[in-house]
Amino acid sequence: MLDIKFVRENPEIVKQNIKNKFQDNKLGLVDEVITLDTESRAAKQEADTLRADRNKISKQIGGLMAQGKKEEAEEMKAKVNAESQRLAELETKEAELEEKIKKIMMTIPNIIDPSVPIGKDDSENVEVKRYGEPVVPDFEIPYHAEIMDKFNGLDLDSARKVAGNGFYYLMGDIARLHSAVISYARDFMIERGFTYCIPPYMIRSDVVTGVMSFAEMDAMMYKIEGEDLYLIGTSEHSMIGKFIDTILPEETLPQTLTSYSPCFRKEKGAHGLEERGVYRIHQFEKQEMIVVCNPKESPKWFDILWQNTVDLFRSLDIPVRTLECCSGDLADLKVKSVDVEAWSPRQKKYFEVGSCSNLGDAQARRLKIRVVGEEGKYFAHTLNNTVVAPPRMLIAFLENNLNADGSVNIPKALQPYMGGKTVIK
User: What's the pLDDT at 52?
Assistant: 80
Enumerate the β-bridge partners of residue 148: none
Q: Are residues 225 and 353 in the same domain?
A: yes
**Residue 69 structural domain:** 4-105
Question: Are 57 and 180 contained in the same domain?
Answer: no
Tell me the average pLDDT across 403-408.
97
> 205 and 270: one domain?
yes
Q: Are residues 21 and 129 in the same domain?
A: no
75 pLDDT above the threshold of 80: no
Q: How sure is the predictor about 97, in pLDDT bands with cuts at 50, 70 and 90?
A: very high
The enclosing domain of 79 has a CATH number of 1.10.287.40
Shared-domain flag, residues 99 and 140: no
Q: pTM for the full model?
A: 0.90
In-domain check, residue 116? no
- Residue 241 confidence (pLDDT) above 90: yes
108, 18 contact by CB (below 8 A): yes
Cross-strand bridge partners of residue 196: 258
Q: Has residue 391 been placed in a domain?
A: yes
The answer to whether the CB of 39 falls within 8 A of the CB of 31 is no
Task: Give the span between the Cα atoms of 215 and 394, in whole angstroms.
Answer: 29
The pLDDT value recorded for residue 133 is 95
For residue 338, what is the domain's CATH number? 3.30.930.10
126 and 40 part of one domain: no
For residues 390 and 313, the answer to whether their CB atoms sit within 8 Å is no
Same domain, 215 and 354: yes
List pLDDT tens digits, range 123-175. Answer: 999 999 999 999 999 999 999 999 999 999 999 999 999 999 899 999 999 99
Question: Structural domain tally of the chain?
Answer: 2
Average pLDDT for the chain: 93
Residue 260 in any domain: the answer is yes
CA distance 63 to 244: 47
Question: In 3-state terms, what secondary structure has residue 333?
Answer: coil
DSSP 152-182: T-EEHHHHHHHT-TT--EE-HHHHHHHHHHH
- Tell me: pLDDT of 367 over 70: yes
Q: State the average pLDDT over residues 32-42.
A: 96
Pinpoint the alpha helices (H) of 68-162: 70-105, 144-150, 156-162
Residue 271: pLDDT band by 50, 70, 90 thresholds?
Answer: very low
pLDDT of 269: 53
- Mean pLDDT (whole number) for 23-34: 97
130, 224: one domain? yes
